[in-house]
Each structure stands twice: as C-alpha cells, then as structure tokens.
Amino acid sequence: MQATTRNERIDVLDILRGFALLGIILVNIPALLQIKLPETTRDTIYAYTLNFFVEGKLFSIFSFLFGVGFYIFLTRAKLKTEHPYLLFTRRLLILALFGSIHMYFQPGEALFFYAIFGFVLMICSKIPMVWNLAFATILLGGSLFLGAKILMPLPFMMFGYAAAYYEIFSTILQHRRQWWIFTSIMFLLSIVLWVIQYMHLPPLDYFMNDAAKTEENIADYIFQGNIGLWSTPIISSFYVGLVCLLAQTKMLIPLKAYGRMALTNYVAQTFLILGIGYALNLKGHLSYLGSLIICVNIIIFLIIFSNIWLKYFRFGPLEWLWRLGTYGKNKNIALNQKTMN
C-alpha cells in the first residue's frame, strides 16, 4: 500500500475517526450515568433514534478503522526495523494497559479487546488476504446471528485491515464514481432496513406504561432490536461511504483534529461524562434528552481542544504515550515529529 510507506497521514481516516467518536459518546453515556428508561414521548423518540442510526454502527466504524491503523503501523514498521512484530506486540500491550485502566471507569470500553484482537490480526497478517476476508465474513455472520456483540469488533477490524491492504482510502479521488455507486446502494439497502425496523417499533408509551408491554409489543421490540443489529454492516458501510465523499468537499474538516486524537478523545469523553455527572449529581437522575445536551457540549469542547492542541503538538497526549511505550526513547516520537495514521 503506497500510502503506508510514507510518513504522512490520510486525512479521510482522521475524519472518519472523528465521525465515529460522535456516535460513541451518545451510546456510552446512558450506562455511565445510569440514565433511566425513557419517561416522556420525546425521550422515547430519541432512544429509538439512537437505536436506529447510532447503536453499534459507529463502534463498528471505530473497530474498522483500528484494523486500518494496525495494517498501516505494521507495514511501516517492516520498513523501519527487522523486528516489526516485536514493535507491534509492544504497541498492543500498551493499548491493553490503557484499556484495562479505562475499563475500571467504563465497563463497556473497547480498547482492551482491540488489543486482544490485534494479536489475532498479527497472526492473520501471515495468511493470504482472501482467506482473511473469508474468515471475517463467516465470523461476522455468526456474530450477528448469535447476537455475540463482544466478537463483532474482530471481523470489522479484519475488514479494515483488508481495506488498507487494497488501498481503498488512498485512491478515493481516482475511484469517486465507484464510491458514489457503493454509497448509493448501501443507502437504499439502509432505507429498506430502517423501514422494516420502524414497522416493528412498539408504541411510544412502551417504556412508560406497563399495559403497553403486551406479548405482541415485546416481540416487536425484540425483533426491531435484532433488525438494528443485523443491519449494522450495511448502515455502517453507508456512513463510511458518505463521510468519505463529503470529506472531499472539506465540509468535515473540524472532525479531522478530533479524529487525529481519537485515543485521547475516546478516553476523555468517559472522564468528562463522569466528572460532569458527579459534579452536578446527575447519576441516576438524567433523562435521555438531557444526556444529548451534555454530549453535544463535550463534543464541541473536545473538537476545539483538539484543534488548539494540534497547533502546538503533533500528537495527542495519549497518542504520544502510546508511541513512547512502543518505541521507547527514540527521536521519532518527539512531539513535533510528523505523525502517522
């Protein structure tokens, strides 16, 4: 992959990371602040909106992008050292450490499992890509069928690894027509899946009225949830295609710095949510719409912070520590050194 042989970033990947972070914070805050079940019609509509458009979709993109990043790192490491897998192992161990610490505050965090799955990717890197894709497809299908959400990041990471191998993000301009066709097809399929999911939504008073929890409505609620899970690859693909196309117009530039510091911002979101929750005594007392207001303010703050930070430093704080743990005392990790994806 040509783009991985040079010490430069692929901007669209940073924008995609930033886009994924926008949704991750929205689905993480209910558990962190123990948000109550919807108590108003507006809360219910917002909860259903998250389930339709965000739940699982943005985390899948985040997992996909970790696979892209792992391929880029490993490819560049092979050009710089005779022991690329040793560097990759150290990188994964540092990520596991971050994840273990983060897990104490956010039980649903993903970094620790990304590190574990990274070792699987390291093994898969020695296998022909076509076999990796076949295994990823089977694993994703099995995970969706069984509802094994904990396994779903691995196939998405493998798809990301393959996407980097086939250079799909470094050749967007050359294949814009194909990107439009792909995105349009995914959009049409997404609409069909959203319509099916909408047709099986229980009444808006489902959470507020015990009388609404009839056997039929419970079955509908479960089925529409399953449709939401099964639709994840299609809808996530539509989002990736759309963001990549919009990124060519510079509309999403504010997300670039936010995504470039994805590790720092992913962890920072957790601590900002918890800090605000404890400071304002919101834990267990916050509504769904109230959580949206908090998330929007955190996102705005982190986007501004990221853009200011990167005017003075080339790495986010945790990104710098990650590189320090990977490379040790090396001039290549200096804060003013040009960065890589």
Please tell me the predicted confidence (pLDDT) of residue 271: 96
Position 126 in a domain? yes
Distances (CA, A) of 199 to 46, 202, 210, 224, 326: 17, 9, 21, 8, 50
From 121, 130, 128, select the one nearest 85 (Cα to Cα). Answer: 121
Please tell me the predicted confidence (pLDDT) of residue 250: 81
Position 311 in a domain? yes
| Mean pLDDT of all residues belonging to the chain | 89
From 90, 153, 173, 162, select the one nearest 130 (Cα to Cα). Answer: 162
Position 229 in a domain? no
Cβ neighbors of 25 (< 8 A, separation 6 or more) are 269, 273, 295, 298, 299
Please tell me the predicted confidence (pLDDT) of residue 107: 84
Cα 191 to Cα 47: distance, rounded to the nearest angstrom = 19
Structural domain count, the chain:
1
Cα 250 to Cα 169: distance, rounded to the nearest angstrom = 16
For 316-333, the pLDDT digits (tens) are: 999 999 999 998 865 444
Position 184 in a domain? no
Cα 183 to Cα 179: distance, rounded to the nearest angstrom = 6
**How high is the mean pLDDT in each 10-residue block of the chain (341 residues)?**
48 95 94 89 92 93 94 88 89 95 89 94 90 94 90 94 92 90 97 94 86 87 91 96 91 93 96 96 91 96 97 94 84 44 46
Position 95 in a domain? yes
Please tell me the predicted confidence (pLDDT) of residue 330: 52
Query: In which domain, by residue range, is 262 found?
Result: 2-172+252-333
Please tell me the predicted confidence (pLDDT) of residue 171: 84
Longest Cα–Cα distance in the chain: 67
Position 191 in a domain? no
Cβ neighbors of 275 (< 8 A, separation 6 or more) are none
Residue that is written with structure tokens 């996530």 in the block: 236
Position 188 in a domain? no
Please tell me the predicted confidence (pLDDT) of residue 198: 93
For 182-225, the pLDDT digits (tens) are: 999 999 999 999 999 999 998 888 888 888 888 888 998 899 98
Q: What is the Cβ-side half-sphere exposure of residue 191, based on CA atoms within 13 angstroms? A: 5
Cβ neighbors of 269 (< 8 A, separation 6 or more) are 21, 24, 25, 28, 298, 302
Distances (CA, A) of 169 to 9, 179, 232: 11, 10, 21
Position 230 in a domain? no
